Structure 1
Amino acid sequence: MIDINVLVKPLLDLLSSFGTGVLPTGGASDALNSSSSVLDQLHQMSRSSINQMNTAWDGVAADAATSKALRVQTSSATLSDRGTEMATVVDQAAAHVETGQKDLNGIVQSFVNQATALGPAVATPQGLTVLVGSAIDHLNQGLTVVTRTQNDLNTQTAAMNELTPPPSTSPASMPAALGTGVKSGIEGLSGLASGAASLVSTVSKPLSSAASAATTPAASKAMSTPNTPSSSSQTQNPSQAKAAEGSGVKITLPDGSEVEAPNEKAATAVKSALGAVGTPYVWGGNTPGSGIDCSGLTKYAYGEAGVELPRLAQEQGIGHPQVSPGDLMPGDLAVWDGHVAMVIGNGQLVEAGDPVSVSSIRTENIGMEFYGFYRPTA
Structure 2
Amino acid sequence: MIDLSGLAQPLLDLLSSFGSGVLGTGGPSDGLRSTATNLDQIIALSKSSINNVNTVWDGQAVDAVTAKALRVQTSSATLSDTGTEMATVVDQAAAYVQTGQKELDGIVNSFLAQVSALGPALGTPAGLTTVVASAIDHIGQGMGVVGRVQDELGTQTAAIQDLTPAPSSTSLASVASGASNLLSSVSSSGLSTAASTGSSLLGTVASGLSSALSSSSSGSNGSKTSTGGNGTNGTGNGASAGSSAGSSTDGTGVKITLPDGSVVEAPNEKAATAVRSAIGAVGTPYVWGGNSPGSGIDCSGLTKYAYGEAGVELPRLAQEQHIGNPQVSPGDLMPGDLAVWDGHVAMVVGNGQLVEAGDPVSISSIRTENSGMEFYGFYRPTS
| TM-score of the superposed pair, with normalisation by structure 1 | 0.83
Aligned residues: 330
Aligned CA distance change for structure 1 residues 30 and 209 (closer, same or farther; 3 Å): closer
Would the aligned equivalents of 1:321 and 1:373 in 2 still touch at CA under 8 Å?
no
Q: Which residue of 2 aligns with 1:200?
A: 183
Match of 1:343 among 338, 348, 367: 348
Given residue 130 of structure 2, which amino acid in structure 1 is its aligned partner? V
What is the DSSP-based 3-state SS (H/G/I as helix, E as strand, rest coil) of the residue aligned with 2:25? Answer: coil
Q: Deviations over 1:84-110 (max 9, x none)?
A: 111111111111111111110000000
Q: Which residue of 2 aligns with 1:276?
A: 281
Q: Which residue of 2 aligns with 1:119?
A: 119
Partner Cα separation in structure 2 for residue 147 and residue 195 of structure 1: 25
Q: Does 2:192 correspond to 1:187? A: no
Match of 2:317 among 312, 318, 321: 312
Q: Does 2:291 correspond to 1:286? A: yes
Q: Which residue of 1 aligns with 2:46?
A: 46
Partner Cα separation in structure 1 for residue 189 and residue 54 of structure 2: 56
Tell which deviates more after alignment, 196-205 or 113-122: 196-205
Partner Cα separation in structure 2 for residue 356 and residue 194 of structure 1: 46
Q: Does 2:73 correspond to 1:73? A: yes
Q: Which residue of 2 aligns with 1:57?
A: 57
Would the aligned equivalents of 2:302 and 2:357 in 1 still touch at CA under 8 Å?
yes
Deviation at 1:146, TM superposition (A): 0.5
Q: Which residue of 1 aligns with 2:35?
A: 35
Q: Which residue of 2 aligns with 1:226?
A: none
Given residue 377 of structure 2, which amino acid in structure 1 is its aligned partner? G
| TM-score of the superposed pair, with normalisation by structure 2 | 0.82
Partner Cα separation in structure 2 for residue 32 and residue 93 of structure 1: 15
Q: Which residue of 2 aligns with 1:333?
A: 338
Q: Which residue of 2 aligns with 1:180?
A: none
Given residue 196 of structure 1, which amino acid in structure 2 is its aligned partner? A
Aligned CA distance change for structure 1 residues 203 and 76 (closer, same or farther; 3 Å): same
Q: Which runs of 5+ in 1 are unaligned?
A: 170-185, 212-242
Q: Which residue of 2 aligns with 1:246?
A: 251
Would the aligned equivalents of 1:157 and 1:200 in 2 still touch at CA under 8 Å?
no
What is the DSSP-based 3-state SS (H/G/I as helix, E as strand, rest coil) of the residue aligned with 2:83? Answer: helix
Q: Which runs of 5+ in 2 are unaligned?
A: 195-246
Given residue 152 of structure 2, which amino acid in structure 1 is its aligned partner? D
Q: Which residue of 1 aligns with 2:240?
A: none
Partner Cα separation in structure 2 for residue 342 and residue 359 of structure 1: 10
Given residue 40 of structure 1, which amino acid in structure 2 is its aligned partner? D
What is the DSSP-based 3-state SS (H/G/I as helix, E as strand, rest coil) of the residue aligned with 1:345? Answer: coil
Would the aligned equivalents of 1:14 and 1:210 in 2 still touch at CA under 8 Å?
no
Q: Deviations over 1:177-207 (max 9, x none)?
A: xxxxxxxxx933x641464145236645532
Would the aligned equivalents of 2:319 and 2:341 in 1 still touch at CA under 8 Å?
yes
Tell which deviates more after alignment, 65-74 or 86-95: 86-95
Aligned CA distance change for structure 1 residues 294 and 197 (closer, same or farther; 3 Å): farther
Partner Cα separation in structure 1 for residue 332 and residue 374 of structure 2: 21
Q: Which residue of 2 aligns with 1:90?
A: 90
Partner Cα separation in structure 2 for residue 81 and residue 377 of structure 1: 24
Instruction: Give the CA RMSD over aligned residues.
Output: 2.0
Q: Which residue of 2 aligns with 1:222?
A: none
Q: Does 2:364 correspond to 1:359? A: yes
Aligned CA distance change for structure 1 residues 122 and 210 (closer, same or farther; 3 Å): farther
Partner Cα separation in structure 2 for residue 138 and residue 201 of structure 1: 25
Q: Which residue of 2 aligns with 1:99?
A: 99
Tell which deviates more after alignment, 115-124 or 335-344: 115-124
Aligned CA distance change for structure 1 residues 357 and 197 (closer, same or farther; 3 Å): farther
Would the aligned equivalents of 1:13 and 1:210 in 2 still touch at CA under 8 Å?
no
Q: Deviations over 1:325-354 (max 9, x none)?
A: 001010000001111000001100011111
What is the DSSP-based 3-state SS (H/G/I as helix, E as strand, rest coil) of the residue aligned with 1:187? Answer: coil
Q: Which residue of 2 aligns with 1:173?
A: none
Deviation at 1:309, TM superposition (A): 0.2
Q: Percent identity?
A: 74
